[in-house]
Structure 1
Amino acid sequence: MKKSMGKRIAERRKELGLSQDVVAKYVGVNRVSVSNWETDGKNGTSPKGANLIALAELLKCTPEWLLSGEDEALKTEIRESNAQWHPGFELWDGDTPLRDDEVALPFFREVELAAGNGSTFVQENGGCKLRFAKSTLKKSNVDPQHAACVTVSGNSMLPVLRHGTTVGVDTSKKSIIDGEMYAIDHDGMLRVKMLYRTPGGGVRIKSYNNDEFPDEFIQPEKMQEIKIIGWVFWWSVLNVWNN
């Protein structure tokens, strides 16, 4: 008999020696919510959106495995050995022609989104672009004409987005879906945050690093301070060797 999502969460949590309190603090919910996630009865609930992503990261698995339990053995194997050696990188520059399955998105280095308190940093662009497979954009329903890449600064979105993370933004998607990440212009500050709608037409701005960066609440009468630039559909980060 296939295990339920609640059963998978509970078993994986116990395998890692984590308490419900630890899970609750990491994800940013209360312990009762975690207990409800692990309940298989009719009153049980399940993590969604940003909560699901944070939970999967803490439990060292994928959101897909938590949701469906499919390929459990394969995913366990991937957790134990998640790398495959390749003989090198395929080098290319701005003059290298695009393949048929590729598209180049503009990389606006002069705009640095702040995942901390917010900042605007001007830097020469130099025509830099970032290559994407067309299939990658298609999976996220992103039109290349409405997509661009920018750099995140600050540590308010740790552990998901580190300082220097590159994010892809779809500027055609501005409607708020609770728990999704968006690039926003907040009264002149460019930031990347999770957004939640509040009663009356306001917005709650949430950081993953909630201990250092508490939630911010924008009241309906001050919504003119917020301009949604677009939905964050992709992110990646490059580690820097400090020797």
Structure 2
Amino acid sequence: MCENLKILNNILNIIILIIAISIIIASVRNYFNTKQKSLNIVIKRIFHVGIMILILIFLKFIINNQSFKDNILLCPRNIVFKKLSKVQNRCIYFQDDYKKYPYGNITGASIKDHGCGPTSVAVILCTMLNDTSYEPVRVTKDICSMGGCTVMGTNMKVLIKYLNSKGFKTTVHDMYYKIGNFNQEKAERDIYNALKNNNMVILHILNHFFVLNGLEGDRIKIVQVGDKIQSEFTYTYKELKELTETMTTIRGQRRYIQGYIIVSR
């Protein structure tokens, strides 16, 4: 349980305890005070106490709700994932290794901070074309020259155009760009089918892209271009969804899956 949630639960528990003690004290006083033995008064007090307890129970339900823990308290989730049986080392790129390389002509912007899109595309082209000349610096230059690099990150439509220019087909469903028809159930089916057919997927989450590059059994392998550690594990789709929801943007917003690009020959 996260610290903020612990504190709130403890406060509510103390309030409930105070109410319980107050009820006991009031009951004892009523017993010795003949003027307060009216049945109506007792019923009113029981009613008021019942209302207060119901309100507190409702508050406990609210603060223990997953959405409240995620978005208000910013509690980390305790999720355990399965380690990859074999470390991926070919055509695997991470933004942290490219902090010295510029991201287009944007002052102060680097591939490390802004280049998740081009880095993800580099992973895919290097793998599917079996060509290591496709690495983040080259791909970033190509995509930026097509007008795909902005202060907010890489434009997905330009990523798609670039992938198509290399001879690949793309199937896209994305709620942010209003392409196709995105929903979680369809996404899960499409992603598993794509990976089973040796295709690759770029997952689009709030302000970030990364790659789903295969299956290990029924678990998804990823190249999370922004996090080397996360790339050492495999995930079910549900776990992948939960993983993204533990991430935050630089503004502190919770990330979530917004769409995906299936890349095929």
Task: Judge same fold: TM > 0.5, yes or no.
Answer: no
Q: TM-score, normalised by structure 2?
A: 0.25
Of the two, which has the highest radius of gyration? Answer: 2
Q: TM-score, normalised by structure 1?
A: 0.26
Higher helix share goes to which structure? 2
Q: Flag the structure with more relative contact order, 1 or 2, with Cα contacts below 8 A and sequence separation at least 6.
A: 2
